[in-house]
Amino acid sequence: MIRLVVISVLLLLQACSEPEVEVADEKPLVVQLFSVIESRIDNSFVFPATVSAVTTVDLKFEVSGRLTHVDLVEGSQVSKGQVLATIDPIPYQRRVDESYTRHQDARRNLKRMEEMFTKNVASQAELDNAKSAFTLSKLTLDKAKQDLGYSTITAPFDAVVGTRNIENNSYIKAGDTIANLQDRSQLYFTFEVPERIMTANSGDRNIKATAYIIDQEEHVFDLHYVEHKTTPDPITQTYQVTFAIDGKVTNLFLPGSRATVKIEKLAHDEQVLLIPLNALVGEKSSGFYVWRFNQTHGVVEKANIEVAALVGESVAVSRGLNLGDKVVSAAVNQMRANLKVKEYKAEF
């Protein structure tokens, strides 16, 4: 019994003599914080654009021949139906005359065969051959008339002559482009819109669009919406959008000009809370959130937010944050709930 007491005393003394092991507190992670601010949204976007005609058509002859007439002055206005170029029609008129004569012969021969067939003088095969010859002669005549019509090119619409590639009396081959026409009843302004802007403003038609030509900033023109692509460019991830200008002012500049387009949302400017785009986590389908700094406990916590709009490199927040809150604005993927952090302060 005495021995057991001694052993117990020795063990107690040994325990008291061992140094205490202290557990070190978790060292706070230094992070970059951003104080939520209030700002007014500028509901406008500016894009570089290129100007083009509504339609550009290449003029080509469907037949070959010697050019005998051309009325294609570059930059000139032409009217729908106006004769622009003609190749020598004589060879094609001759084919029409020859085909017409053969067709008349085939018509008379068919009539004679029909009379002989009724009198049992001609066979069924002879009558069928006469019908076939008549049909073929009609097709040949139609083709000859068509070729004769192809020897003249007329303007398909009111247009401006863009470029001319031929001279009078030159030999033209079928399919050669002799000139191109531009329909300038309107001029198109085409530009690329980033995916994030397109998504945030999809379906919003309450806008005003204006444009000016580079180096002609004093002349601002109103535009109207034409169309936009719904599939982004696979490389740039941008959507092509087209607006147009009224045809009354299209003579002030040319297709190919460089322009600047400004799109303004007509809704009144609004006060919103702004945070950096880099602070945003999540996606539209599952929702967005940020890592908010809890100043009392020195930790970060997840805060679900509602995004109102994208403003340049910032995000307008309509719900989930208050003015003066601090959110993590860098390395957000390294954050977790209740992680101890310390605000980074630059040394000067």
Q: Which CATH architecture has domain 89-150?
A: Orthogonal Bundle (1.10)
The β-bridge partners of 58 are 180
Tell me: the pLDDT tens digits for 51-97? 999 899 999 999 999 999 999 999 899 999 999 999 999 999 999 99
Cβ-based neighbour number of residue 288 at 10 Å = 18
Return the percent helix, strand and coil in the chain, to nearest 5.
25, 40, 35
Question: So what's the pLDDT on residue 250?
Answer: 64
> Per residue of the chain (348 residues), what is the pLDDT tens digit?
444 443 444 444 444 444 444 434 578 999 999 999 987 766 788 999 999 998 999 999 999 999 999 999 998 999 999 999 999 999 999 999 999 999 999 999 999 999 999 988 889 999 999 999 999 999 999 999 999 999 999 999 999 999 999 887 889 999 999 999 999 888 999 999 988 788 767 766 778 899 999 988 888 999 999 999 989 999 999 999 999 997 677 667 888 899 999 998 776 556 778 999 999 999 888 899 999 999 999 999 999 999 887 777 888 888 899 998 999 999 999 999 999 999 988 765
In whole angstroms, what is the distance from residue 177 CA to residue 172 CA? 9
Q: How far, in Å, are 34, 49, 297 from residue 188 at the CA level? A: 43, 9, 58
In whole angstroms, what is the distance from residue 231 CA to residue 239 CA? 7
Dig out the tokens for 80 from the structure: 């729908």
Dig out the tokens for 171 from the structure: 């030999």
Q: Could you please state the CATH topology (level 3) that the domain comprising 44-54+185-265 is classified under.
A: Elongation Factor Tu (Ef-tu); domain 3 (2.40.30)
8 Å CB contact between 316 and 272: yes
Q: Which amino acid, one-letter code, is at 49?
A: A
The β-bridge partners of 332 are none
Exposure class string for 71-85: b at 16+ Cβ within 10 A, else e: ebeeeeebeeeeebb
8 Å CB contact between 142 and 102: no
The β-bridge partners of 303 are 290
What 3-state class would DSSP assign to 251? helix
Quickly list H helices, the chain. 2-17, 90-118, 124-150, 195-200
Q: Tokens 């401006």 belong to which residue?
A: 160
Cβ-based neighbour number of residue 182 at 10 Å = 21
Q: How far, in Å, are 8, 51, 222, 243, 292 from residue 58 at the CA level? A: 109, 19, 30, 24, 62
Q: Could you please state the CATH topology (level 3) that the domain comprising 29-42+270-343 is classified under.
A: 2.40.420
Domain ranges in the chain are: 29-42+270-343, 44-54+185-265, 89-150
